[in-house]
Amino acid sequence: MVYRTDYHLHSWFSDGQSAPEDYIAPAVAAGLKEIGFSEHLTLFKESLDWSMKLSDIEPYLAHIKTLSKNVSNIVVKTGLEVDFFPGKEDETYSYLNHLDLDYVIGSIHYLGKKTVDLGPEFYEGKNIDRLFELYFEQVSAAAASGLFDIIAHCDLIRIFGFKPLTDQVPLYRKLAKSLKAHNVVFELNTNGRNRPIADFYPDRQFLHIFREENVPVCVNSDAHMPSRTGQYFDEAYDLLRNAGYSEMAVFDKRQRYMLPF
Ligand SMILES: [Zn+2]
Ligand SMILES: [Zn+2]
C-alpha cells in the first residue's frame, strides 16, 4: 500500500466544520497513513471569521499534539495555512519562527485588500490577464520568501472560471522555476473540484511544467469537512504519475523527505 498523506485539513479551529478528531476515521478509511491540520492564520487582518485568532494558536497546537499522541492507526501532523502579504515577510517570520510545526503552507488569498476566492464580483470589470499575472507574481514572491514549505492552490485565481486570453505557459514556467529555486513544494489540491472551477489546482494541462522543472509535490484535499479527507486522491496520483512523478514530499518538524508512490 502506497504511503499517502493529506496535509491540508481545516477543522473548526479555523473554518472547517468539525473537530480534528472527526477527521481520523475518514482519513483511515481513505487509506491515508498520515494527515496534518493546516488551520488558516491570516496575520495583519482583524477578526476574519475564516481564520484563527492569535489567541487560538497555542490551544490549537496543544490540541493537535495531544490528538497525535492518542491516535495509533494514523500519523497526525501539525501545520498552518498562512496568508502571504508582500512586505510583511520579516514580521511573518518572527511570528512563525517560534511555533512548533511540522510544515507551513503559504497561500495567496488576497490581491490587494480583497480575496480572490470569496465571490466572482472580484473579477468583474477587471483585466483578467493582468489579474493572473499579479496572482502568479505574488505566489512566486511567497515561494521566494523562505517562509513556507508548501505553496497552496498555486492558481486559485482560476476559481471562478475567468479565463485569460494570453498563453499561460510562461506564467506556470516562471512559477515552477521559482518554486524549485527556493526548494518549495507545490500541492495538487483536489478541493478545486468542489469549487466553481470544478477542477484541481493547478490546472492539469500545466502539470508537466512542474515535473520538467523538478518541483517537489504533495497531494492535499483542503478538506473543510471530514467526508472530503483524501477526496479524489486516486485520480490525483494518477495525474501525477502520468506527468512523470514517482515521489512525493512528506514533512516532519519542517524537514522534508521524499517518498515513492
Ligand atoms: Zn487556501
Ligand atoms: Zn485551505
pLDDT tens sequence across 204-247 = 999 999 999 999 999 999 999 999 999 999 999 999 999 999 99
Instruction: Check residue 23 and give its pLDDT.
Output: 98
Could you give the percent of the chain with pLDDT greater than 90? 97
Give the pLDDT score at 2: 85
Cα 164 to ligand 2 centroid, rounded to whole Å:
24
pLDDT in the model for residue 192: 96
| Proximal ligand: closest to the CA of 80 | 2
Distance CA 35, CA 205 (A): 27
Query: For position 55, what pLDDT does the model report?
Result: 92
User: How does residue 31 score in pLDDT terms, banded at 50, 70 and 90?
Assistant: very high
User: What mean pLDDT comes out for the span 98-126?
Assistant: 96
Q: Are strands 217-220 and 185-189 parallel, antiparallel or unpaired?
A: parallel
Distance, in Å, from the CA atom of 175 to the CA atom of 116, rounded to the nearest integer, reads 18
pTM of the entire predicted model: 0.98
183-192: average pLDDT: 98
CA 111, 112, 113, 114 torsion: positive or negative? negative
Query: Which pLDDT band, with edges at 50, 70 and 90, does 48 fall under?
Result: confident
Buried b (16+ CB within 10 A) or exposed e, 199-238: bbbbbbebbebbeebebbbbbbbbbbbbebbbbbbeebbe
Find the 44 Cα to ligand 1 centroid distance in Å.
17
Tell me which of 50 and 89 has the higher pLDDT.
89
CA 109–ligand 1 middle distance (angstroms): 7
Residues, beta carbon < 5 Å, ion ligand 2: 81, 222
Q: Which listed ligand is nearest to 153 at the C-alpha? A: 1
Looking up cell 487582518 gives 45
Across the range 44-72, mean pLDDT stands at: 93
Average pLDDT, the chain: 97
Q: What is the distance in A from the centroid of ligand 1 to the CA of 207?
A: 19
pLDDT in tens, 113-161: 999 999 999 999 999 999 999 999 999 999 999 999 999 999 999 999 9
Ligand nearest the Cα atom of residue 83: 1
Q: What confidence category does residue 46 fall into, taking pLDDT thresholds of 50, 70 and 90?
A: confident
Residue 198 pLDDT > 80: yes
Q: Ligand 2 centroid to 211 CA: how many Å? A: 23
Of 236, 241, 229, the residue nearest 33 (C-alpha):
229
pLDDT at 47: 77
Ligand with smallest separation from the Cα of 108: 1
The pLDDT of 65-71, averaged and rounded, is: 97
pLDDT at 232: 98
Q: Measure 39 CA to ligand 2 centroid, in angstroms.
A: 7
pLDDT over 90 at 1, yes or no: no
Q: What is the pLDDT of residue 128?
A: 98
In angstroms, what is the span from residue 102 Cα to ligand 1's centroid? 18
Q: How far is the CA of 146 from the centre of ligand 2 (A)?
A: 20
